[in-house]
Amino acid sequence: MKTKKLLSGIALGAVALTASAVSLFAPFKNLGANKVDAVAATNPNKLIIYNVEDYMALGQEDEYADMVALFEAANPGITVEYSTWDTNETMYNAIKNGGKFDLVIPSDYMVGKMVQENLAHPITWSELTNAGTAKSNLNPKVLEYMEAYDENNAHSVPYMYGTMGIMYNPTLDENLKADIEEQGWAVLWNEKYKGKITMKDAPRDSVAIAMLYANRGALLNAAKLDDSDQTNDYDAEYQALLSKVLNAEDAFSLDIARAVLMDQIEVTAPDYETDAGKNDLITGAGKKYMGLYWSCDAGIAMADNSDLEYYVPTEGSNVWIDNFVIPDCPNYNENIDAAHKFINFMLDVDNAAANMDYVGCESAVTAAVDLMKTEDWWGDVEDYDSEEQMQMYLDTVFTPSEVLEYCAPMKTFDADKTAEVSDLWESVKRAAANNLLWLWIVLGVVGAAGIGTGAYFLFIRKRR
């Protein structure tokens, strides 16, 4: 597969004039993962951004833009402090525990939680000129999905979106690709692949997949074949069921999710990871065959290892949306003006495209997506191992409309249900840890027995 390259032809709008006297790729200010800056009050010259790991172009290599440096160049006097987190829950807890941030980038369901708890500042859309009149420059389907957690987009601006699916390496088992396409989510419970699977260490995501697995038959039945062309018909009835399954919060459903996740521990013994898992699949170091992944991570991994593939099970999946949010942090006055300026900067077509160049997933800025689909950036089939491989890569990064037909967004649980799901997930991880501990105990006992037997034959039998 070809290596992604910088969009060198992009002028980056008004930034170019200012940037001529400033290094566009100056080192960005990284406070380190999960570090909280203890600013007591707004500094109009400082913008504190808190984002998930590896989720913005920051000049990581010479071929990629540095969005922070570009923003600082375009806005003299504003200095950005940038730090990262691993899960939405880490970000949320940091805010609740006194973190001081001007801009965060949480996922859909977490945006809803922040809105419920008055932790999200209203967006002044009139200041976001790059969004277009009536948000016309943003993907209307994404804005529609956002209604599930933020009515009228009152507190959030879409950043990136994509799907959740299974990334795998078909070269490791000749039947793996067929098993995944035939079994869908059920393959993650197939004992044939014990020890070869990863799951996300994220409560809502893993619980949602457990519910999709438990209700696979009902979902496939709802997506009944269209008699005219013998294809699945993902109608309103199916969409309603899919949303209900993904967002099930009643006690009975959560008990089912707990049971199937506990069963998965026994059957396939998955590893739980947040971000490092894709590197194991890229390098093969983790000896994993497949795992639960977001499409953006899959796109990054596939760019580095052409053997990897990505599949969204047709019984249904989640369409995730990550968003810019100005948090209402307790005891802190956010730099609201600078936050709006940064959001607007990132909504610029050229800037959004340059950021996509590194991040590897789809921006909500429609013109940026169109720009990234041009031949100049993607090259042609000769740049890939095969035409099929090129198309799979493009379909991973840019979700086809037919795939979105069997995807739905996650809605927000109330505080009590969120706590219940978190407790559920912690109990699953404890069980997994205990299962691993017992495995080591058994291996220790077997090893000790082997040593004892060896000693017997070496010393006792030898004396005879």
Three-state SS annotation for 287-351: CCCEEEEEHHHHHHHHHHCCCCEEECCCCCEEEEEEEEECECCCCCCCCHHHHHHHHHHHHCHHH
The string of pLDDT tens digits covering residues 246-263 is 999 999 999 999 999 999
What is the C-alpha separation between 446 and 145, in angstroms, rounded? 54
Question: Residues near 237 by Cβ (< 8 Å), separated by ≥ 6?
Answer: 222
CATH 3.40.190.10 placement within the chain: 15-156+325-372, 163-319+402-430
What is the C-alpha separation between 394 and 352, in angstroms, rounded? 17
For residue 3, what pLDDT is reported? 39
The string of pLDDT tens digits covering residues 292-303 is 999 988 988 888
Q: Which CATH class is domain 15-156+325-372?
A: alpha beta
CB 114 within 8 A of CB 74: no
Model-level pTM? Answer: 0.81
For residue 35, what pLDDT is reported? 36
Give percent of the chain with pLDDT exceeding 90.
64
CB 20 within 8 A of CB 70: no
- Name residues of the chain where pLDDT drops below 50: 1-41, 437-440, 442-464
What is the C-alpha separation between 80 and 226, in angstroms, rounded? 53
What is the C-alpha separation between 273 and 178, in angstroms, rounded? 25
CATH code given to domain 163-319+402-430: 3.40.190.10
For residue 173, what pLDDT is reported? 96
For residue 415, what pLDDT is reported? 85
Please state, in angstroms and as integers, the Cα–Cα distance from residue 87 to each residue in 143, 153, 418, 434, following that order: 23, 23, 14, 23
